């Protein structure tokens, strides 16, 4: 397998993991209130949450890998591939957050997978 595809897949997985970690964190936090005078306390609370910080670390790692990917891969091929993160987040959301499955979501995910497949053949 091409190393660019491995870096691309790792970047996608890290980005999706960051989203899952943020959702996990906010599900366990109080209401996010950015209205004044709560703004500063809320921001401090957000950035001292270890789950959020781990999610941010995933995003930064994903970005570093992404820079590597686009340095040697066509952007028109690489960028649409990020939509695979939708599939990863959808599957994890079902198992971790008990989110609903609908026929429309399934069809949408199949179309995303087909689109990415056709980009890479």
Instruction: Please check whether residue 97 is in contact with residue 27, taking contact to mean a CB–CB distance below 8 angstroms.
Output: yes
Condensed to tens digits (0 to 9), the pLDDT of residues 19-66 reads 999 999 999 998 888 899 989 999 999 999 999 999 999 999 999 999
Q: What residues contact 84, with CB distance under 8 A and at least 6 apart? A: 9, 12, 112, 113, 116
Instruction: Please check whether residue 62 is in contact with residue 7, taking contact to mean a CB–CB distance below 8 angstroms.
Output: no
For the chain, the domains span 3-120
Condensed to tens digits (0 to 9), the pLDDT of residues 73-119 reads 999 999 999 999 999 999 999 999 999 999 999 999 999 999 999 98
> What DSSP designation does 51 have?
H
User: Whole-prediction pTM value?
Assistant: 0.90
Q: How far apart are CA 108 and CA 34, in angstroms?
A: 33
Q: Which pLDDT score, from 0 to 100, does residue 1 have?
A: 58
């Amino acid at each position: 397998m091409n190393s660019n595809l491995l870096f691309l897949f790792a970047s996608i997985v890290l980005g999706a993991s960051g989203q899952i970690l943020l959702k996990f964190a906010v599900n366990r936090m109080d209401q996010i209130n950015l209205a004044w005078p709560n703004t500063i306390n809320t921001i401090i609370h957000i950035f001292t949450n270890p789950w959020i910080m781990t999610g941010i670390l995933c995003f930064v790692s994903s970005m570093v890998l992404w820079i590597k990917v686009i340095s040697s891969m066509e952007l028109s091929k690489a960028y649409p591939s990020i939509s695979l993160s939708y599939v990863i987040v959808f599957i994890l959301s079902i198992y971790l957050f008990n989110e609903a499955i609908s026929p429309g979501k399934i069809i949408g995910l199949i179309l995303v997978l087909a689109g990415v497949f056709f980009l890479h053949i």
